[in-house]
Chains A and B, each alone.
Chain A
Amino acid sequence: MSEEPLIHISNLYKTYHVGDVDVHALQGVDLDVQKGEFVSVVGASGSGKSTLFNVLGGLTSPTSGTAKIDGKDLAGLSNRERTELRKKKVGFVFQKYNLLPTLTAEDNIRIVQYIGDRGQTFSAEFKQVLSVLGIADRMKHKPRALSGGQQQRVAIARAIVNEPAILLADEPTGNLDSQNSLAVLELLKDLNERLGQTILMITHNDEAAAFASRKIRMLDGRVV
């Protein structure tokens, strides 16, 4: 019997109502991602990548279809259940880093650890991850004192501090120069290989997508 996929998406639809207009962002997406996979999702603007990201992250609910993470169907989840999903199952890395500007790098990570009910002290393993990410000596700095690449590494550390089932990365190199982009992509690949972290990375860049073990392409709200 084959292993149940960590992410199982079947015939997934999402329609936004913008004024009097219906925008069909997802139009029957089918996708399975196994545990430990590093999958990149590529496509042009408006292809539905970000909507898929939002649905899988529990940031918005699907209109119809099935979207399961670790066996849990996201359709019909209440707000509280979606909050629990974000707390326990999903880690986010955003294009704009989205660090809290008034907190230090360390506190940005600790607050997520606290929200995830995992205490406030870093485990030895996590400290090792911080070293791998190259930010162990930047923990006491606030985001404004960090470079874009450093901020994104802090965001990656924040995303995995609670050991989520999947790491969702939305254009993680979109705001970085080529050198920092390369570093971040290598780090994601390293995390995938070293820790077995399942990663779903959304990008419009084929070079970035090449770092993943599998690449899928979206067009007009479907996986092609």
Chain B
Amino acid sequence: MILTLVGVSYGTLDSSARRARGVGADIMVRPPGSSILGLSTAPMTDKLLDFVAQQPDVAAVTGMAVQPLSGFGSITGVDLNSFSRMSGGFHFLAGGPFQADQDVIVDEYYAREKRLHVGDNLTLMNHQWRVAGVFESGKLARICVKLPVLQTLMGNPHRLSLIYVKADSSDHIQEVLNNLREKMKGYPIYTMEEFTSQLTVNSVGLLRNFIDVVIGVAVVVGFIVVFMGMYTAVLERTREIGILKAVGGSSGFILNLLVRETLLLSILGTIVGIGLTYGAKALLEATFPSSLTEEIVYSWWPISGGIAIAGSLLGVIVPAVKAVKQDVTEALSYE
């Protein structure tokens, strides 16, 4: 449970970072007052595009509007011409770019999850769309429509959520950044490197807290399960423990047996748990390929193993002590 939840948290953020890198931009401009990671609608005027494009060392500029959808997704309004100049354009697996205003293009994972094909209809934001193309995942977003169409639907014509900037050379990124920060005071402006590095579990405070709570719940639940399991096991094996005591088994010997058994069980449980995360990953990829992405987070293997071992050892102490203190004659008469 812990490994799967951590994997989903890491995986979802990492896939967002991969898509952001796929834009091909060097710098991102966000609306004033927005955080580096917070979703925004479209509060920036599109006149800024010309302003930014005229700055020295700027090779390409493109603006986006982003509208969050229910659940994990969002829909992105994109200007295909400027986006293609910056990123090289989408690689279509089926169909092609949107032609009409009601056209939408989706990435392969979203198409697979929703079983969409070119020509299918799709309802988003109470609006009927036609799937014009399915593109290879890893660029920008999962669902894209024409920028002006989305701006109108959002009630924010000529407004942008994001501006991506490409410098004419990687040596000039810092100069472009400094220049934009100087001239666009109040606008959060980051390099893409800064942005993607912030897409980590530790950078997203709410996610960090969420994971802490989940781990806490998992530890408590795991502890109770192990405690009750071991307690029941000791009760069921009262007679066996009595036999071992009758034949000269010391308290240390019996405790040793119980602890070793618990260690073995928790290690096996951890291995099975790790195996199950692969199963969960495959299941998520088959069921929700576009919304939930799970990564195998190897660094959490020893942590989750430690939690399992510590929880089970704590859980075995009380029944183990109870077992070794038990009167032999009572234990032997246990049915």
CB interface residues, B 298-335, toward A, < 8 Å: 327-329, 332
How far apart are the CA atoms of A54 and B248 in the complex, in Å?
Answer: 14
**A87→B240 contact, CB < 8 A:** no
Q: Given A60-B329, A98-B332, A86 and B248 touching (CB < 8 A)? A: yes
CB distance from A177 to the nearest CB of B (A): 22
For A60, what are the chain B residues with a Cβ–Cβ distance below 8 Å?
327-329
Q: Given A98-B239, A100-B240, A101-B240, A92 and B246 touching (CB < 8 A)? A: yes
CB interface residues, B 242-256, toward A, < 8 Å: 242-251, 253
A94 at the interface (CB under 8 A from B): yes
**B247→A92 contact, CB < 8 A:** yes
CB interface residues, A 77-96, toward B, < 8 Å: 79-80, 83-84, 86-88, 92, 94
A67 at the interface (CB under 8 A from B): no
**A100→B243 contact, CB < 8 A:** yes
Q: Given A57-B246, A83-B248, A98-B246, A115 and B253 touching (CB < 8 A)? A: yes
For B245, what are the chain A residues with a Cβ–Cβ distance below 8 Å?
83, 86
A158 at the interface (CB under 8 A from B): yes
**A98→B328 contact, CB < 8 A:** no
A88 interface neighbour in B240, B246, B248, B253, Cβ under 8 Å: B248
CB distance from A89 to the nearest CB of B (A): 9
For A111, what are the chain B residues with a Cβ–Cβ distance below 8 Å?
244, 247
For A86, what are the chain B residues with a Cβ–Cβ distance below 8 Å?
245-248
For B249, what are the chain A residues with a Cβ–Cβ distance below 8 Å?
83, 115
- Digit string of B209-247 for contact with A (CB within 8 Å is 1, else 0)? 000000000000000000000000000000110111111
Q: Which residue of A lies closest to B324 (CB)?
A: A79
**B243→A98 contact, CB < 8 A:** yes
Q: Which residue of A lies closest to B246 (CB)?
A: A92
**A59→B248 contact, CB < 8 A:** no
Number of interface residues of A (CB under 8 A): 23
Interface size band for B: 10 to 19
CB distance from B292 to the nearest CB of A (A): 42
For A98, what are the chain B residues with a Cβ–Cβ distance below 8 Å?
239, 242-243, 246, 332
**B243→A84 contact, CB < 8 A:** no
A166 at the interface (CB under 8 A from B): no
How far apart are the CA atoms of A218 and B239 in the complex, in Å?
Answer: 28
A94 interface neighbour in B244, B251, B253, B332, Cβ under 8 Å: B332
Q: Given A98-B243, A100-B240, A115-B253, A87 and B329 touching (CB < 8 A)? A: no
CB distance from B141 to the nearest CB of A (A): 58
**A84→B246 contact, CB < 8 A:** no
CB distance from A202 to the nearest CB of B (A): 14
- Digit string of A91-128 for contact with B (CB within 8 Å is 1, else 0)? 01010001111100000000110011000000000000
How far apart are the CA atoms of A102 and B236 in the complex, in Å?
Answer: 13
For B247, what are the chain A residues with a Cβ–Cβ distance below 8 Å?
86-87, 92, 111-112, 115, 158
CB distance from B333 to the nearest CB of A (A): 9
How far apart are the CA atoms of A115 and B244 in the complex, in Å?
Answer: 9
For B240, what are the chain A residues with a Cβ–Cβ distance below 8 Å?
100-102
Q: Which residue of B lies closest to A88 (CB)?
A: B248
How far apart are the CA atoms of A9 and B248 in the complex, in Å?
Answer: 22
CB distance from A168 to the nearest CB of B (A): 10
For B242, what are the chain A residues with a Cβ–Cβ distance below 8 Å?
98
CB distance from A128 to the nearest CB of B (A): 22
Q: Which residue of B lies closest to A159 (CB)?
A: B247
CB distance from B104 to the nearest CB of A (A): 62
For B248, what are the chain A residues with a Cβ–Cβ distance below 8 Å?
83-84, 86-88, 112, 115-116
How far apart are the CA atoms of A60 and B248 in the complex, in Å?
Answer: 13
- Digit string of A206-221 for contact with B (CB within 8 Å is 1, else 0)? 0000000000000000
- Residue among B240, B244, B245, B247 with the most chain A CB within 10 A? B247
**B332→A83 contact, CB < 8 A:** no
For B329, what are the chain A residues with a Cβ–Cβ distance below 8 Å?
54, 59-60
CB distance from B332 to the nearest CB of A (A): 7
CB distance from B330 to the nearest CB of A (A): 10
CB distance from B77 to the nearest CB of A (A): 66
How far apart are the CA atoms of A88 and B7 in the complex, in Å?
Answer: 55
For B327, what are the chain A residues with a Cβ–Cβ distance below 8 Å?
60
- Digit string of A36-63 for contact with B (CB within 8 Å is 1, else 0)? 0000000000000000001001011000
How far apart are the CA atoms of A199 and B9 in the complex, in Å?
Answer: 69
For A102, what are the chain B residues with a Cβ–Cβ distance below 8 Å?
240
For A84, what are the chain B residues with a Cβ–Cβ distance below 8 Å?
248
19 interchain pairs, CB-CB under 8 A: A59-B246, A59-B332, A80-B250, A83-B249, A83-B251, A86-B246, A86-B247, A87-B247, A92-B247, A98-B242, A98-B332, A100-B244, A111-B244, A111-B247, A112-B248, A115-B248, A115-B253, A116-B248, A158-B247
7 A-B pairs with least C-beta separation = A87-B248, A86-B248, A59-B328, A112-B247, A98-B243, A115-B248, A83-B250
Extra contacts, 15 of them, besides A79-B251, A88-B248, A115-B248 (Cβ < 8 A), are A57-B246, A60-B328, A83-B248, A83-B250, A84-B248, A86-B246, A86-B247, A86-B248, A87-B250, A92-B246, A98-B239, A98-B242, A98-B332, A112-B248, A115-B249
